[in-house]
Amino acid sequence: MLNPDVKLNPKIFSDDIEQKPTRAGFGDGLLIAGEADENVVALCADLTESTYSHLFAKKFPDRFFECGVAEQNMATIAAGLGVSGKIPFISSYATFSPGRNWEQIRTTISYNDSNVKIAGHHAGISVGPDGATHQAVEDIATMRVMANMRVIVPCDAIEARKATVAAAKLWGPVYLRFGREKTPVMTTEETAFTPGKVEVFWESASSTSSGRVKPQVVIIGCGGLLYNALLAARELEKEKIGVVVLNSHTIKPLDEKKIVELAKKTGAVVTVEEHQVSGGLGGAVAEALAKHAPTPMEFIGMQGVFGESGPPAELIEKYGMGVKHIVAAAKRAIRRK
């Protein structure tokens, strides 16, 4: 069942649940951060409306810098601002930033621990018709490996706004990952969000009166696909298979303590992400469990392939990230105990 303590959207399983892209939450959060601190500045690579940076640019024109199609320059300029007392946010499609300017992010931002926030937009295959060249499915891995870098992947627009505001208050480099497509708004204003801490969105529990059962598998997700994880948990519980669903919005630093605790409790783990299964959330969880609690795992995500052009929902199904795929993965993990 849904965790009542987390205060999720009461319409979470309704057909009329609000749908909003996480990039919109970034735009709202950037505006709030800018209003709260005059040191917040924004830079963009000729994609102000697509990244919702135009809201900040309109209100704070003297604190907005249009860098043009020059992502490498943008990162280097931001690095200088970040070590000079400013809090710069840089925005572009994730396939270009951090895709094209990875070396500049590494050498001028991370190496110097510059206080820069990198907003990678249109990530994952749900970019849809733009096709494989614009579908960043490697960005979590490339940013997670970088020293001094935090990595946050919000699950919906509200959490994206909270993550953006929180990033402005954190010292040092932060990578924020956002999607293009509208996705269900699962959380509310009251839903807790703390960088570095997972939240339990769903937990089955033993109960003879309700027919619920002891958790047998923990599903750990991030981004918009977390909604599919919740739908899968509902289906599994109908089959008397107990589930815990974690929102692991922060991939680095990972909440290892809670994840290890639940892995030991359930004995089976499934990770869900709109990203390559290598090096992303699944890789981070596997590393943690290898150190502390080796556990049977299954990985939902891109299985070492590129995407293609097509409707987002169809691509999610084709590449094995739909509800039925998560259900099947959970059962496989349980069988391997």
CA 9 to chain centre: 18
Among 35, 66, 71, 256, the active-site one is 71
* Other Cβ atoms closer than 10 A to 83: 15
Of 247, 273, 313, residue with least CA distance to 136: 273
CA 204 to chain centre: 24
Please confirm, yes or no, whether 235 is among the known catalytic residues.
no
Catalytic residues: 71
